[in-house]
Structure 1
Amino acid sequence: MLSRSIELVECSRVPFASGLAAHGERTALIVDGRDISYRELAERVDAVARRLGSTRRLVLITGANALDPIVAYLAALASGHPVLLVPGGNGDALAGMIETYRPDVEVDDGRFDELAPGTTHDLHPDLALLLSTSGSTGSPKLVRLSHNNVQANAEAIAGYLGIRDTDRAVTTLPMHYCYGLSVLHSHLLRGAGVVLTDRSVTEPEFWDLVRDHRVSALAGVPYTFDLLDRVGFADMDLEHLRYVTQAGGRLDPERVRGYAALGRRRGFDFFVMYGQTEATARMAYLPPELTAQYPDTIGIPVPGGSFRIDPVPEGEDGAGELVYAGPNVMLGYATTPGDLASGRVVDELRTGDLAVRTEAGLYRIVGRRSRFAKLFGLRIDLQRVDAALAAHGLVACCAGGDEQLIVAVVDADPRHVRGLAARASGLPESAVRVVPVADLPRTENGKPDFRAVAALADRAPDEPLAGAGPVDLSRLRALYAEILATDEVTDDSTFVDLGGDSLTYVRMSVRLEKLLGNLPADWHTTPLRELATETRRPRRGLRTVETNVLIRALAIVFIVGSHLHLFELVGGAHVLLAAAGYNFARFNLAGSRSARFRHTLASVARIALPSMVWIGGVVSVTGIHPVSSVFLLNGVFGPDAWTREWRYWFVEALVYIVLAVAVLLAIPWVDERERRFPFAFPLVLVAAGLLTRYQVIGPDTPTSQILASYVVFWLFPLGWAAARATAVWQRVVVSAIALATVPGFFHDEPERTALVLGGLLLFVWIPRMWWPALLVRPMEVLASASLFIYLTHFTVYPYLRDIDPWFAFGASLVVGIAYQQLWVGLGWLWAKWRFRSSGTSADPGRAPTGRPAGTAAVTGTDG
């Protein structure tokens, strides 16, 4: 046993941590927009090292991607104090570690607590770092790593990645996770910079940091890449990105190929890596030039390491246990404080993974020794069962129970899953228990939590699903599938992700409120699993209604009534153009650039198709419009002066404008600018539109003043900006633009000017209102059918107004609503036929399983 008062001079240190000052004024860390140079970081590290004292002590640090924890961590490594690194946010796990290992010092978010004078431990001179094993966060079983382990693995990673002192990484993974820690180590080793943030890759602010600080390195586990797919990473313009790394679990080979191909197009290298905490971080990597040909392998050992394959009884087709040797192999495990005095007890790492070596000299993982279960005398390879379920498009994870195979599955028919799992495992179906879950249990590192899956066996059969609320999620999935005519609904789906737009929004909100009560303001971007917990009862006799819905309902009433001269409240169509921009910003700007384009084209189809069908029917029966009107081309070929051909100017303008915006956003540079400047971008479009509004360009005719699409265009991005205005100053800006530009547009029509201004200001300042419950349902019906009423009323009221103008008014509304219901019904039948003809059992009345969410439903023809 070593002396408890061993001095720091007798122990080793981590060279890159003690040599920070050598990098001088180069940027080491970027924290909250501030650059911390290596010189300043070294000074901070020295100050904390002095505070830790000259006697080696066990230092517990609550890891976080923040300056104070990283300074404390580097100070301990640089001066020889062993670090016990634990995650933050889990009080029970922290208390358990303190109770088990009795650290001498605790550092938590800048707080420095002396728990013991000097030290109470025997600490081996080589001991540098203690980490929880992968997937066992909070477990008292720790990996003991030496100073040489940490330094050697950082050097190996920096070597094969080719990290330069000009590179900058960003923290996408937690500091207490060995993968996240290795990013910090390898970049500090080379004098590169690290941007510290806890923001998710799903947040726009994260990508602002990436661009603003010229980030060149991005790291992720498989779940990270799921998120990147959702946010449209493939379409982002990240000119400084040099390399993307993936580890922490197996990524599907086709996705490996896809990201590698994306990297070749965009100028970054894609590295697939393999490692374990017991090897400090990394054991293997796949060179980027080999990803296209060998995407299912882990590649070659890292510099300084080597592999061999040992035969095992369960190995098939030449597979054996993968054994690694190298300078980054741990000293051993610790389960008690007494183990901290031990030196090296292992020289190589038995990974527990089954692997084969290919003819190309690369290694491929084919299974896991510890992922076997023995049931009914059969040895079950759980990883193979997982793979078989994944091959059927299921999100599932298996674990061995005492007497059953436990399968956790997301959004699937349990009977179907049970049959697949039984066939894959060779077990009878009675030995398979399928547990539906809202999401797979995962560790804090994003990996499947097999222990948590096994624990699901103890859950009562009638216990509610994790994450479910008082409303059955299957009812919500079925509702989304029905209204949006899509078979891609999961518990993580949102209305926007599935292709919802302003025409389906009202109908969906009406049906949802029947299930949930009053909806939250952001329900259209809220995943179903969270929406199910939002049930709130309305005030007695009152309900909230969105201003968007109110304006659409009132606008169509004003339009029809004004055309019948029942009252003079004109300007409703122009307000609807702003409403279209408002809803475009809410519903059409999610996902990747290509997804946006598809989604927007689907929205155009939902407007154009019912319009062309109705106008075509009118032309074929009455002949009162030219054929160009059928194809919405009156704005191109029609007369300049007002004639009956201009009746459908609003539909034409809306189609032209949305198509133009869709084409504009399909340009990568433009799409990137919109994502980066979501509020400023529509204001730039407003400025462009004002050139025709004020006739700086374009013809000077009476019609073009208020009807031509290129003249009224500015109202669309003004509504768009209103949707993006979240801060008070932004609302003030949009209001000021409206107050400055609407007056004068309608010449000597102050009432129309006031109506349009009032609508715009309501959008900006009052998103929801309380209304008598009896009025809300009719209002929602009118708003949902507003396009159809606009189309049909020109045909209905001329034949009935001489009988009674109010009768003509009511009939115009009823016919429009009826046309909407007919169109919705035809769309539903078409979707049902399409699903059946494609060979799937899905239909739009229920939510099928097995396909990921996120693609816009381009076949929805909803009103």
Structure 2
Amino acid sequence: MDVQPDLAGVSFAAKLAGFGDRPAIRTKDQSVSYSELARRVEDTTRTFGPGRRLIALEAENSLPSLVVYMAALSSGNPLLILPTGGGTATETLVAAYDPDVVVRASDGEAVLDVRREETRHELHPELALLLSTSGSTGSPKLVRLSGDSVQANALAIAQYLHLRPSDAAATTLPLSYCYGMSVVNSHLLVGASLALTDLSVVDPCFWELVRTEKVTSFAAVPYTFDLLDRVGFEHMDIPSLRYITQAGGRLDPDRVRSYAELGRRQGWDLFVMYGQTEATARMAYLPPDLAAEYPHAIGVAVPGGSFRLEPVPGLDAGELVYSGPNVMLGYAERPEDLALGRVITELQTGDLASCGSNGLYEIVGRRSRFVKIVGLRVDLGQVERLLADLGLTTAATGSDDAVVAAVEGNHDLALVAKTLAQDLGLPRSAVQLHSVDSVPRLANGKPDYPAVLALATQNNDGGCGTVTGPEPVAHPADVRTIFAEVLEQEDIADTDTFVSLGGDSLSYVAASVRLEFALGYIPKGWHLMPVCELAPAPHHPQSPAAATTGESAGQPGGRTSRTSRGWYRRMLVPMETGIVLRAVAIIFIVSTHIGFFHWEGTAHVLIAVAGYNFARFQLTGTRRARLRRQLRSIARIIAPSVVVIGFAFAVTDTYAWANVFLLNPLLGPEGWTDYSRFWFIEILVHILLGLAALLAIPAADRAQRRWPWAFALALIAVDLPLLFDLVDTRYPGQGPVLWLFGLGWAAAASRTLWQQAAVTAIALLTIPESFDDQYRSATILAGFLILLWLPTLSVPRGLHRLTALLASASLYIYVTHWLVYPLVDPAQKGMAVIASLAAGTLYWAAATRSMGLAEKWLRRRQIAQLKIRAGTSLHV
């Protein structure tokens, strides 16, 4: 059936050119004006052909995906949005609805798979968009939206947010999620701009983008605020920020009030919103000036919409029913439903609500969130609220037999279940609580209630055991298991990151190697990504599977890769440059000290690497959390070093008390002596302690967060007078090295090409002057430039794990080799090197395990004390 393509077209998508040269899309690499965006949309529309067809798009937060999205909306071709990343959910939808065109992103471009030239479907003239219902990603059940609904909701959002052309929103949510999509629609409707990114809010690069692009808003779901707390958002200075929106689930009222008050102090607004995919995203919003006073409320209906309460037999509250132009046409459960027009005119939300005298609506429960047990109606929302009052993070569901709840963390569940049963008036046997590492969640961050209910059959423990689900098991794809074992942690939540869990440069290598094996690739910035965003990608271009088969974009079957490129992929493995430099440097350091060969300067390269890693691992979170993490990392350097140096002091006459306390640079003899052998450890600890103290000062903390790159340059500038002998110093014979640490920091903080170029210029001006030995200076310069410009280096596949092992153990090898190699025959220098590397690696394994067990023991003691206090409060 051929229908004129403009019948379902969305007005704002067809009128982009009207905003002329105003910036529409900003990415890391380019800025695209509205006129240029309109041209790209028009070009893409032509590739769809003259007839109206069903198009499926794997939507990403990328310019090619956005162009395809707008092209479909403007041309009236119905668009089926597929989940980001493909997989089973995508294949289920494609198989169920058989789209005429499937569009996927590949190597930064949108690749069209035209499956037929003319549609085989009957497509209703009003049909514009097909979205998965909330909580049913990958299910054949879809929401059918008209072009008018999309236009009306975008207009309503723009109206109550007071959007204007000068606004710029960062895309913190996926385009495939209706909430993220509504941000795109509303901003392009008014001629505002989008800072297009898929960076997480825990990534310093995201905040650099916010400041550079003068972002005025970003969208958040409840768990986003957990991440904002981790990165110290309350201390950030973002002058351009005008408002934050929140939807995607209920935000705790205390947190609503807290962020509303924070916004009031800092000059931005918090918009709490309520919506469903069935209403094209938004149905209600809470005016920002009322958020602190009425944090429980969802607010008032969006412009053009209205609410009413429909009585529910047996309940005091009524079901919230919404009417407005943004209500869906209806559901689709099979391809034949695409021919249907409007079958509903108002939306029964399924939520129970009340309306106060102030006209504000409040959600008090879910109509479908009730179970009837032994003749009693149980509100599962009330169950969650009762458990939350006990300080527990939970998700509750149930059946006609029992209430089933997942409870995060380790608690006395028997006591909690008994208390809950008494509050609900239920038999104790009708309450099942299951301990989990984190509440199971869907991709959009909402609780996965079917997964919670499944715990009742997975964990047959009577409801009060300590079975964790999903329980970490020794499976390579389990990110939680990797983090738990590498970091000696027990409770790891979806929102935790490697850095927030206390990961540092010492544990980074082991984690990255195991993640690469588990995921098939290493995502850029993985150490800052929440656990829930780290998932296996078996068809990723860098995965072992892709390397073996030689698959590459644009080359079906990988015929070319199996010849010229296949050999390269099979023989070489990309590794992060910092890891490779640590492994190579420790071999050169040990070999030089033993006299196997002579190559100086690599220890100074490691100082730059230390600064680079400090910037990556130690600068996120609140000031207090960051200080704790920094002190923990320093302790993990000091403890194993002092053990070895103390032993050396006891059994030899080579060292002094100043060495044991890592104070030789300050108290020992000036110049280079045998006492200076541990200079690297001593100076590194002094730098880290000094920076921890400096960044504990609120003003310094704010300055570093606001100007991360400039702060690193200031660190370099502080040390330059010492480097060029303008100020006398007691540094050991190696000379001042804080400036090298600062160079590494600046390398990690460089986000643009010109920043990298500026750091390169500073290195070229300073490093050659650092030592009289031109070969040593050349080594330092080369190592630093490699660190700055090359994110990865290729390593022979057979040496991949050995490189990672040496990098992990480098600090321990350095501190032990002074004691090991004198025990080997002086004529066997090669054997002495091998023995030193092996002994240091063994010490690394033993010391890391011992420190991990000690930390775990301390955490368990803290948990035990908390449980005692919690039990006391429950009895009271």
Matched, 1:397 2:395: yes
- Residues 578-657 of structure 1 aligned to structure 2 (within 5 Å): 581=611, 584-585=614-615, 587-601=617-631, 654=684, 656-657=686-687
Matched, 1:246 2:246: yes
- Residues 27-46 of structure 1 aligned to structure 2 (within 5 Å): 27-30=23-26, 33-46=29-42
Q: For residue 589 of structure 1, what is the amino acid of its counterpart?
A: L
8 Å contact kept, 1:7–1:54: no
1:91 and 1:582 map into 2 onto residues whose CA distance is 36
8 Å contact kept, 1:311–1:321: yes
Q: Percent identity among equivalent residues?
A: 46
Q: After superposition, what is the alpha-carbon deviation per residue over 1:802-846, rounded to whole angstroms, capped at 9, x for unaligned?
A: xxxxxxxxxxxx9xx99xx99999999999789758972579xxx
Residue 163 of structure 1 corresponds to which residue in structure 2? 163
Residue 113 of structure 1 corresponds to which residue in structure 2? 114
Q: 1:693 to 1:367 in 2, by over 3 A?
A: same
Q: Structure 2 regions of 5+ residues with no counterpart?
A: 105-109, 461-466, 538-543, 545-574, 647-656, 820-838, 872-876
Shift of 1:658: 2.9
Q: Please say which of residues 660-669 and 751-760 is displaced more in the overlay.
A: 751-760
Q: For residue 474 of structure 2, what is the amino acid of its counterpart?
A: G
SS of the counterpart of 2:176?
A: coil
Residue 59 of structure 1 corresponds to which residue in structure 2? 54
Q: 1:569 to 1:382 in 2, by over 3 A?
A: same
2:209 and 2:129 map into 1 onto residues whose CA distance is 30
Structure 1 vs Structure 2 CA RMSD: 6.4
8 Å contact kept, 1:477–1:491: no
- Residues 674-753 of structure 1 aligned to structure 2 (within 5 Å): 674=708, 677=709, 682=712, 685-686=715-716, 688-695=718-725, 697-699=726-728, 703=730, 706=733, 711-717=736-742
Matched, 1:20 2:49: no
Q: After superposition, what is the alpha-carbon deviation per residue over 1:181-204, rounded to whole angstroms, capped at 9, x for unaligned?
A: 211221121111223344444445
1:779 and 1:47 map into 2 onto residues whose CA distance is 50
Q: For residue 595 of structure 1, what is the amino acid of its counterpart?
A: A
Q: Please say which of residues 13-22 and 729-738 is displaced more in the overlay.
A: 729-738
Q: 1:151 to 1:470 in 2, by over 3 A?
A: closer
Shift of 1:163: 0.6
Shift of 1:78: 3.6
Residue 367 of structure 1 corresponds to which residue in structure 2? 365
Q: After superposition, what is the alpha-carbon deviation per residue over 1:689-716, rounded to whole angstroms, capped at 9, x for unaligned?
A: 2331111x313x7x467488xx443344
1:399 and 1:588 map into 2 onto residues whose CA distance is 39
Q: Please say which of residues 760-769 and 738-747 is displaced more in the overlay.
A: 760-769
8 Å contact kept, 1:552–1:579: no
1:446 and 1:391 map into 2 onto residues whose CA distance is 22
8 Å contact kept, 2:671–2:732: no
8 Å contact kept, 1:222–1:251: yes
Q: 1:301 to 1:608 in 2, by over 3 A?
A: same
Q: Structure 1 regions of 5+ residues with no counterpart?
A: 537-543, 563-567, 617-626, 794-813, 850-863
SS of the counterpart of 2:707?
A: helix
1:744 and 1:18 map into 2 onto residues whose CA distance is 60
8 Å contact kept, 2:437–2:492: no
Residue 86 of structure 1 corresponds to which residue in structure 2? 81
Larger radius of gyration: 1
Q: 1:573 to 1:290 in 2, by over 3 A?
A: same
Shift of 1:274: 0.3
2:4 and 2:847 map into 1 onto residues whose CA distance is 85
Q: For residue 445 of structure 2, what is the amino acid of its counterpart?
A: G
8 Å contact kept, 1:220–1:246: yes
Q: 1:443 to 1:48 in 2, by over 3 A?
A: same
Matched, 1:386 2:384: yes
Q: For residue 217 of structure 2, what is the amino acid of its counterpart?
A: A
Residue 270 of structure 1 corresponds to which residue in structure 2? 270
SS of the counterpart of 1:840?
A: helix
Q: 1:278 to 1:721 in 2, by over 3 A?
A: closer
Residue 836 of structure 2 corresponds to which residue in structure 1? none
Q: After superposition, what is the alpha-carbon deviation per residue over 1:579-607, rounded to whole angstroms, capped at 9, x for unaligned?
A: 86466456423434553344335556778
Q: For residue 82 of structure 2, what is the amino acid of its counterpart?
A: P
- Residues 351-362 of structure 1 aligned to structure 2 (within 5 Å): 351-362=349-360
Which of these residues, 473, 497, 500, is aligned with residue 497 of structure 1? 500
Q: 1:656 to 1:384 in 2, by over 3 A?
A: same
1:597 and 1:148 map into 2 onto residues whose CA distance is 52
Shift of 1:247: 0.7
SS of the counterpart of 1:180?
A: helix
Residue 829 of structure 2 corresponds to which residue in structure 1? none
- Give the TM-score normalised by structure 2: 0.69
Q: For residue 707 of structure 2, what is the amino acid of its counterpart?
A: R
Q: For residue 468 of structure 1, what is the amino acid of its counterpart?
A: V
8 Å contact kept, 1:174–1:445: no
Q: After superposition, what is the alpha-carbon deviation per residue over 1:728-774, rounded to whole angstroms, capped at 9, x for unaligned?
A: 99999999999996788677x99999999999999999999999x99
8 Å contact kept, 1:414–1:436: no
8 Å contact kept, 1:246–1:271: yes
Q: For residue 29 of structure 1, what is the amino acid of its counterpart?
A: I
8 Å contact kept, 2:672–2:734: no
1:50 and 1:633 map into 2 onto residues whose CA distance is 72
1:584 and 1:223 map into 2 onto residues whose CA distance is 26
Higher RCO, 1 or 2 (CA under 8 Å, sep at least 6)? 1
Which of these residues, 459, 465, 468, is aligned with residue 473 of structure 2? 468
Residue 311 of structure 1 corresponds to which residue in structure 2? 311
Q: Please say which of residues 130-139 and 449-458 is displaced more in the overlay.
A: 449-458
SS of the counterpart of 2:865?
A: coil
Q: 1:638 to 1:50 in 2, by over 3 A?
A: closer
Q: 1:354 to 1:613 in 2, by over 3 A?
A: same
1:727 and 1:147 map into 2 onto residues whose CA distance is 39
Residue 858 of structure 1 corresponds to which residue in structure 2? none
SS of the counterpart of 1:179?
A: helix
Q: After superposition, what is the alpha-carbon deviation per residue over 1:556-587, rounded to whole angstroms, capped at 9, x for unaligned?
A: 9999x99xxxxx99999989866864664564
Q: 1:150 to 1:430 in 2, by over 3 A?
A: same
Residue 854 of structure 1 corresponds to which residue in structure 2? none
8 Å contact kept, 2:24–2:193: yes
Shift of 1:168: 2.0
Q: After superposition, what is the alpha-carbon deviation per residue over 1:147-206, rounded to whole angstroms, capped at 9, x for unaligned?
A: 332222111110110111121223232333321221122112111122334444444554
Q: 1:265 to 1:646 in 2, by over 3 A?
A: farther
Q: 1:719 to 1:553 in 2, by over 3 A?
A: farther
1:82 and 1:681 map into 2 onto residues whose CA distance is 51
1:828 and 1:99 map into 2 onto residues whose CA distance is 50
SS of the counterpart of 1:263?
A: helix
Residue 651 of structure 2 corresponds to which residue in structure 1? none
2:30 and 2:782 map into 1 onto residues whose CA distance is 44
Q: 1:758 to 1:293 in 2, by over 3 A?
A: same
1:754 and 1:52 map into 2 onto residues whose CA distance is 56
